[in-house]
């Protein structure tokens, strides 16, 4: 691990802690030569997870691509920074916990929609309309109606 400032190879660990229930270890390092401090992350190499697309082609599960898709749906929505990454991590955790080495892309789409539904309803509709391609306006309306029905009473528009 080279120092990002001076490229010195000799660094020492000044702090080390577990993240995400110890799946990741974060280390603060200090360059022995110039004293610059930087952070490294160490993760267990994950087992292979292959996505089977609708047309039958297979590709390696790409968590970053999934996060990008979720982030796109959340564009300009009032959610915290990092929400898309957390959602993608959550989906990956669910898939890995299931223990299968292959997963249908439609399953990942469903999980993404579940995450978005809980995060932001507009983002959910955005994602679902692209992903699920609502057959017609009637299907879309039913989905929107079901979202309204689930809303907290406090969020209901005040009636005159
Ligand atoms: Zn250095």
Distance 14 CA to ligand 1 centre (A): 14
pLDDT computed for residue 131 by the predictor: 73
Render the chain in DSSP notation, one character per residue. Answer: ---TTT--S-EEEEEEEEEGGGTEEEEEEEETTT--EEEEEEEPPPPP-EEE-TTS-EEE--HHHHHHHHHHHTTT-S--TTHHHHHHHHHHHHHHHHT-SEEEHHHHHHHHHHHHHHH-HHHHHHHHHHHT--SSHHHHHHHHHHHHHHS-GGGSPPP-
Distance 17 CA to ligand 1 centre (A): 22
Distance 10 CA to ligand 1 centre (A): 8
Distance 33 CA to ligand 1 centre (A): 5
- The model's confidence at residue 11, banded by pLDDT at 50, 70 and 90, is very high
Of all residues in the chain, what percent carry a pLDDT higher than 70? 88
Say whether pTM exceeds 0.75. Answer: no
Calculate mean pLDDT across residues 119-130: 89
pLDDT at 156 over 70: no
Distance 35 CA to ligand 1 centre (A): 6
> For the segment 24-78, what is each residue's pLDDT rounded down to a tens digit?
888 999 999 999 999 998 877 667 889 998 899 999 999 999 999 999 999 999 9
Of all residues in the chain, what percent carry a pLDDT higher than 90? 52
Distance 4 CA to ligand 1 centre (A): 7
Distance 8 CA to ligand 1 centre (A): 5
């Amino acid at each position: 691990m080279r120092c990002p400032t001076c490229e010195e190879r000799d660094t020492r660990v000044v702090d080390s802690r577990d993240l995400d229930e110890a799946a990741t270890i974060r280390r603060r390092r200090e360059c022995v030569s110039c004293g610059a401090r930087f952070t490294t992350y160490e993760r267990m190499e994950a087992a292979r997870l292959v996505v089977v697309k609708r047309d039958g082609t297979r590709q390696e599960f790409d968590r970053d691509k999934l996060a990008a898709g979720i982030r796109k749906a959340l564009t300009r929505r009032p959610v915290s920074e990092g929400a898309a990454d957390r959602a993608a991590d959550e989906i990956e955790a669910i898939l890995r916990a299931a223990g299968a080495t292959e997963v249908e892309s439609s399953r990942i789409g469903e999980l993404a929609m579940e995450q978005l539904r809980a995060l932001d309803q507009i983002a959910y509709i955005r994602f679902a309309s692209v992903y699920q391609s609502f057959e017609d306006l009637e299907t879309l309306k039913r989905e929107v109606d079901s979202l309204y029905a689930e809303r907290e009473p406090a969020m209901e528009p005040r009636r005159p």
